[in-house]
Structure 1
Amino acid sequence: MTASRRSNRDVAAEITDLIIRKLEEGVPPWSRPWRCSGAGGRPLRHCGTPYTGINTLYLWALGDAMGYRSRFWMTYRQAEALGANVRRGETGAISVYYSSFKKTEEHPETGKEVEKNIRFLRHYVVFNADQIDALPAYFYAPEEAEIPVEPSTRQAAIDAFFDAIPADVRHGGNQAYFTPTFDHIQMPSRTSFRSMDLYASTRCQLGHWSGHASRLTREFGKRFGDKAYAFEELVAEQVSARICYELGLPADLHESHASYVSHWLEILKADKTAIITAAAKADQAFNHLAAYSGYQSEPAEEEREEADETAPVPACA
């Protein structure tokens, strides 16, 4: 597929339209109780490297919408290089990345020529393994039933992740929230929860904690319902879901967050790039939190441009 054909697609609009549709269906794509195998895990490139940023969120949502069970996505040429073929009539998804070019222009005050780096969104087309015939067996999700994991087998990993984070967590009352003014997380007592898994998943208010002025400096907004407040919730909800996925915790949309769905829809419909920015902020927040304990998720690398269709297929792009 040529670059000129690719450029005709409004990729930011396509991504945002899908997220809006999932929200209107009452199923935020980042709030699934994701498993660690099959379609429940993070989307992977053909070589097994996880996608990052908006590509994770978009391919997750699209895989869920289309009922794909495989985690793997690849280009037409990558499938061919593996001895497989995309089935006739299948529609590809988009995987995005930022490219840039330098532009020289005159400074309005000094009159001197200055060089500016201009970033712009580009994309290439990928297909899920479920749209492709004759791939090696490991690209397809296994048929055997998932084996439930007992909470006790995860407790060491949960404690290692949370205990290293120097957040002030206080217990009492019947609400869970983060207060930026006093910089602490408020939680109901542990005995109020049906399980320690649910306690840990609720403690993912750490997403808000990461954005405090002394850490990542995100704008929280001034009141419920304003756009900055809703955008912060959009970021924090994705951070919470990411922590839950990494640690194998339940990731259902919290009741107190469900009321934000209409505000999220308003933001996404007004700005087609908002979800891309929110996903990047969520990635940054998760990495900040994970750094305290040295937690390592599946190895990932920066999104980068896919090889040109006429070039040799790289080991991983």
Structure 2
Amino acid sequence: MAQEPWTTKRILDWTSGYLERKGDEHPRLSAEWLLADVTGLSRVELYVNFDRPLSPDELACMHAAIEQRAAGEPLQYVTGEMPFRHIVLRCEKGVLIPRPETEILVDAALEGVDRAADVGADPARVLEVGTGTGCIALSIASERPGTEVVATDLSEEAVRLATRNCEALELGEVVSIVQTDLAADVDPSLMGSFSVLVCNPPYIPTSVLSEQVPAEVVDHEPALALDGGSDGLDVYRRLLGLAPVALAPGGMLAVELYEGSLDAAAALARAQGGWERVEICEDLTHRPRILVAVRKAEKR
């Protein structure tokens, strides 16, 4: 009796059931992502090719991917990529996986770029600290052509990955990626000329990280990009010190932070002084997510 072939539908159904038994919160979605990556089909195309049999090579790749996912490895590391806004990025172990909520941070930064353009900044310059995959810097550069972006990261792995993503998107002429702590090795002549300083720093309070964050995140993603210290504001305090040096008059600081830390973060900015306004912005689920602060413009 001939063995039943492993078709798209059969492998999707089997993988969904297997991953559900292994504790995957979204087993069908995981199955779709894995199979789409292995076959080169989109998730929509999978459903119009239910009877398509998998080749032996595809089956072998799918088996390996299923076992990685069943062991708790994030989907983005298994497939090696993820979409972010209008671009697709490579993702690798050792570098933080971009989150959908960070797209709101890009929106805030783009408002700062547009504001700078409106008052005649040419080109508008953006400094991103802690670029990771490059998702923020590369989104800004791709969505606002002509904007000059300097992106930094302390991690050598992150700088290598962000550079590859930059090259793949052909944005090397407008995006510079620097391995450094905060902005220590950024060209000093650029200091005071940035229209936007944007950052998604490590912001999870240490106690929250150890007690509330899922194992899939804690066990697989870099602690350097997650742990924000006792109150989640260790790096943010350093950004407050950098902002008056890096930003042009009227420039914007935009930072993603832990929802329980934003009131304290806003109070620190207001106590520092020099800001025209300090605001807390919500994400799409109406949770406080982003701090936006605009420097006072020069008096005329």
- Length-normalised TM-score, structure 2: 0.23
Question: Which structure carries more strand by proportion?
Answer: 2
- Length-normalised TM-score, structure 1: 0.22
Higher relative contact order (Cα pairs below 8 Å, separated by 6+ residues):
1
